[in-house]
Structures are given as structure tokens and as C-alpha cells.
Structure 1
């Protein structure tokens, strides 16, 4: 290829080789300046495009880096927060587990109390062996991080403990309700059972049974117990009940009969003064009259009887308490 210079145009000859036709291309002379200028402009445009692309790439990179840094910081903050929350949950779980242990100890104490209540109500309940809850005190040790398996096991154990506690509480509440009912019934029976001595004196001058009558000297049935006492010594109701008779007759003198339900009645005779009237309600140990010698009597004393289903029985087995303050 060679150029042939002319006045106004250039001839570009392309000689491919032997036996080949020569190609001639005529170009205006101005193309000698235009072509390099175009090539230069193209190179400049290409360089400018590359520069702009680099600028855009750097801006995109910076933007992505900033976004990544922000997301990384946010993720780190979230992880830190989650770690803190997890640690707090673990601490709460430990507290809950310790509270469950403490509650089990209290529940054992309530069970023991319930056993006492059962004994008081004479239910014949049997005691249950129980181990006291352990008391742990933090005194130091190696700082070993807790594993997820250990936390999971603690959750399982605590859940089982709480489930067991709920079951124990339900059973205990039922037992307490039954024991309370039995205890109330036992207390009611105790109040209406004549177990007190009717006067402060425990000196018996005549027992229940066959004796020689002090007036006729003939064998007679003594249907009660005579207690020695001073004039106007207090007489007490030996059980709670209702006065069904209060008055005077030649045989009994001033006397009171108290009905205690369940077929039991008590009678107090020869009193100097009555402090109750028929229809009055009496509590156990209440003062109902004063010792005297009215009616068929040879001296100051209290004649005391216990009736069961209308039949006089020996009062002595019912004299269980030594003081009127004991119910």
C-alpha cells in the first residue's frame, strides 16, 4: 500500500501481491487531517467514557460500601441486642427455676400442715416422706458460657417442675378442702360432746350405780354423779347445746336439761340459782347456775347426769378435761 500525492487528492494504492489486481482508492487531500482528527476524537471519547465509567464505578462502590457498612453495623447491633436479650432470658429462666424450687419447699411445708390437720380431724392420714428443697448459694467458680443444650434442659426441667407443682397444688387443695370439712365437723362434734367437768371441784361423793338411798337406806339406782361443792360455786355446761328444760321440782330442785343433739343430753340438779331459761343457746363451758342443795338433797352438791337416747348412762367416761378452759 502506498500514497500518491497530487495537488488536490490522494490516491491510496493497495497491492495485494503477485498476480493480484492493484486496488486504487482516491481520497481528498483534506482526509489526511480529518481521519487522524476523527481517530483522535474517537480515542478521546473512549477515554472520557472510560473515565466516566470509573467515576460511576467508584461512586457505586462507595455507595455499596456505605450501605454494607450500615447494614453490618445494624446487624452487629441486632446481634448484640439479641445476645443481651438471650442472656436476660437465661437469667429469668434461672430465677424461675429457683422460684420453683422455693415453691416446692413451701408446698412441702403445706403438705405437713395438711397432715397435722388430717390428724386433728382424725382422718387417719399417713405422712409422706419428702426431701427438703436445697438452698444454693453462689460462691464463685469458673466462667463457663452456658450451652443451648443446657438452657433447653433447664427449660424442660422447669416446665416439668411447674407442671408437677400445679398437679400437687390441685391435689392439696382438694385434700385441704376435705380436711377442713372434716376438721369443722370434728370441731362441731367436740363442742357438742359433754367432756368437761361440770364444776371446779373434782371430788365425787356418790358414783353412778346402785347405792343405799340416803333418805330410806334402801338400795336404789343412782342415775348420775354427785360432785361436792360449796354453796354458789359456778356450774358449767359440759357441752354446747340448747336448754330444753329449766325449772324447779321437789325431786330435782332447781335443775337444767341441755340437749346437745346426736341423742345426748345433760342434766344439772339441786342448784341454788339458775342462770338460764328454756330455749337459751349454750356454749361449752358457759356458766349456767350456782351450786346449792334444793329439792331432794342432804347437802350442798351438784347432781350431774348424761342421757343417751333418753337413757341415763354413767357420766364418768365423758369427764375427759380437767379444766373448764379446756374444750
Structure 2
């Protein structure tokens, strides 16, 4: 029954008895559906939250592992950087030693002068070795210190590369100088032509043994026994092998650069014209052929076709003939 007001008509509804059961049942079913829906939503939400939590936990563990791994890698890189910096310092020391060796090589490339002397390398203080006894507090490095070490090491390595390139160029030049010095040494007549160093007649004016008048002696007479070996005093090319009444059996060798040597009064000649000879090679035997009073070797050095005193060239003993 609905009673709208005093002046309005009352409205009456008549419901069957069954509605007393149906309506509460419908309401109960609606409430049950609502709670079931809420339950399933809560359950799904909880499952979703758990799944997301598990995924987050997994990602968090993965990130922690990655951070730990990266931290380990950074520490290893820092350690490697320190080792690299130390190796760079050690390499600098070795490079200084190589530079000193290069200086020695440069001095070696300078040919000996006519008196057999050469420049000497001044002694230098020995390089200090690294001290293996270490200690100190364990203080972690800062990023600024690491950056500074990286910059210094990088700059040092660039400097080392420049030094190495310059040193390689200089070593190449020194090698060429040594080859040239060795070539010049090989063609310079610095050996004694026979084992004997006994000079029976020197270079210059003397009394001729045949005419007993003053005459110019253009070489050295070296005392020797018959058939003593005669050695060429420098590398070169044999340009004359022959005999005449004055020189007897004689050999002339051209050593280039305007230098020639002549070996006279030989008993036997062991080379031929046009043959190349090496320094210290045996080329003949001592004799007394030609204008001679006895067994000896007459040895001459010619420069630009003019006989000169052989004394400045006789600086190397027979035992050093191959050097």
C-alpha cells in the first residue's frame, strides 16, 4: 500500500504469497554474486601482485648480480690499469737502456781514425731496479684518481709510441752507418802484410843499397823468411799481377777511394788479376825477386797514385786481421 498524501488516493498492490520467497532469494543471489565477484577479483589481484612481486624480486636479484659483476669488472679494470701504468714505467726504463745501446751503436758506426782510436762512451750511472718491498694503508681510490691515472697512462703511452718510432728510425740510420763503417774498415789497409813487424828500411830518403847514393824509398821493407805468408791488408780488387826487374814478382790491389797497396819481391803469387780479395787473405809468399838483396817484403801504400808513408795505416796486428 502506498499513501501519497491526505488529498490523494491510496494505491494498493497485491503480491502473491510466493513473492515472499522469490524476492529474498533474488536478493541473496545478487549479494552472493557480488561477493563471489569480489572474491575472484581479490584472488586474481593477489595472484597478479604475487606474480609481479616475484618478477620484481627476480629482476632485483638480476640487477644486484649485474651490479656485483660490474663492480668486480671495474675493480679488475682498475687493477689492470695500475699494472699497465707500472708496465709503462718499466718500459720507459727499458727504452732508456735501448737509447743508451743506440748511442753505443752510433759510436760503433764511426770508423776508427788513422791512429786506431775512436770516441769512447762515457760511463753512466746504472739504472735503479724496482723495489719489491712495499707496504702502506689500504685506501680505496677515488674516481678522480682513476681518471687522472688513465689520462697520465694514456699520455705516457702516446709519448712512448713517439719515442719508439723515433728510436726505430734512428736505429735504422745507425744500422746503415754500421754497415758503411764496416765496409770502410774492410777496404782500409790497416793490417800488417806479414807476421813480422821488423822494418829493415823505412819510408823516405835513404842510401840506395846498390848505388850507395841517396834515393827515395817509397815504402817499407819488412824482414821475413823465404815463403812466409803475405796477406792483403784490406779488401779490394787485384789490378796487377806481374814481374819486372825492379819490383820482381809483385801484386797491386785497388781498395777504392783512391787507395792502392803494392806487394813486391814475392817468391810466389797466389792470386790473379781481376780477382776480388778479402781483408787478411793470403795472396803470396815472401821472396827476393827483382832488385832485392835478400828475403823481405817491400810494401807500399798509394793514395791517388802517389806513394805515401804506410806507418799511419799499420795499426792492426795479425790476430785482429778478421775484425
- Alpha-carbon RMSD across the aligned residues, in angstroms, is 2.7
Which stretch of structure 1 is more off in the superposition, 280-289 or 114-123?
114-123
In 2: Cα distance, 1:74 partner to 1:20 partner: 80
| Residue from 153, 158, 168 that aligns with 1:173 | 168
Which residue of the partner structure matches residue 64 of structure 1?
52
Secondary structure of the residue aligned to 1:86 is: helix
Q: CA deviation at 1:324?
A: 4.5
Shift of 1:151: 2.5
Query: Is 1:188 paired with 2:173?
Result: no
Measure the CA separation in 2 of the matches of 1:307 and 1:162: 56
Higher strand share: 1
Tell me the alpha carbon deviations over residues 262-319 of structure 1, each in whole angstroms, 9 at most, x when there is no partner.
0000001111111111111111111111111111001111111000111111111111
TM-score, normalised with respect to structure 1: 0.86
Shift of 1:118: 0.8
Is 2:95 the counterpart of 1:100? Answer: no
Please give the alpha-carbon distance, in whole angstroms, between the structure 1 residues aligned to 2:58 and 2:316: 88
Note if contact 2:105-2:178 (Cα within 8 Å) is conserved in structure 1: yes
Give 2:250's match in structure 1, choosing from 242, 247, 255.
Answer: 255
Change (3 A) 1:253 1:218: same
Q: 1:33, CA displacement in angstroms?
A: 4.4
Distance 2:26 2:127 in 1: 101
The answer on whether the counterparts of 1:117 and 1:179 sit within 8 Å (CA) in structure 2 is yes
Q: Which runs of 4+ in 1 moved over 6 A?
A: 19-23, 123-127
TM-score by length of 2: 0.87
Segment drifting more, 283-292 vs 116-125: 116-125
Task: Give the C-alpha shift of residue 136 in structure 1.
Answer: 5.3
Q: Between Structure 1 and Structure 2, whose CA radius of gyration is higher?
A: 1
In the superposition, relative to structure 1, how do residues 173 and 26 fare at CA in structure 2: closer, same or farther (>3 Å)? same
* Aligned 1:192-271 pairs, distance under 5 A: 192-271=187-266
**CA distance, structure 2, for counterparts of residue 143 and residue 269 of structure 1:** 84
Larger RCO, structure (CA 8 Å, separation 6 or more): 2
* Cα pair distance change 1:172/1:88, threshold 3 Å: same
Cα distance in structure 2, aligned partners of 1:54 and 1:251: 134
- Does structure 2 conserve the Cα–Cα contact (< 8 Å) formed by 1:285 and 1:324? no
> Against the structure 1 CA distance between its residues 214 and 125, is the aligned structure 2 distance closer, same or farther, given a 3 Å change threshold?
closer
Aligned position for 1:321: 316
- Tell me which residue corresponds to 1:50: 38
Whole-Å separation in 2 of the counterparts to 1:175 and 1:125: 20
Once the two structures are superposed, residues 21-44 of structure 1 have per-residue CA deviations (whole angstroms, 9 ceiling, x without a partner) of: 687563525455444443333332
Q: How many residues align?
A: 313
For residues 86 and 221 of structure 1, the distance between their equivalents in structure 2, rounded to whole angstroms, comes to 88
Q: Gaps (5+ residues) in structure 1?
A: 1-10
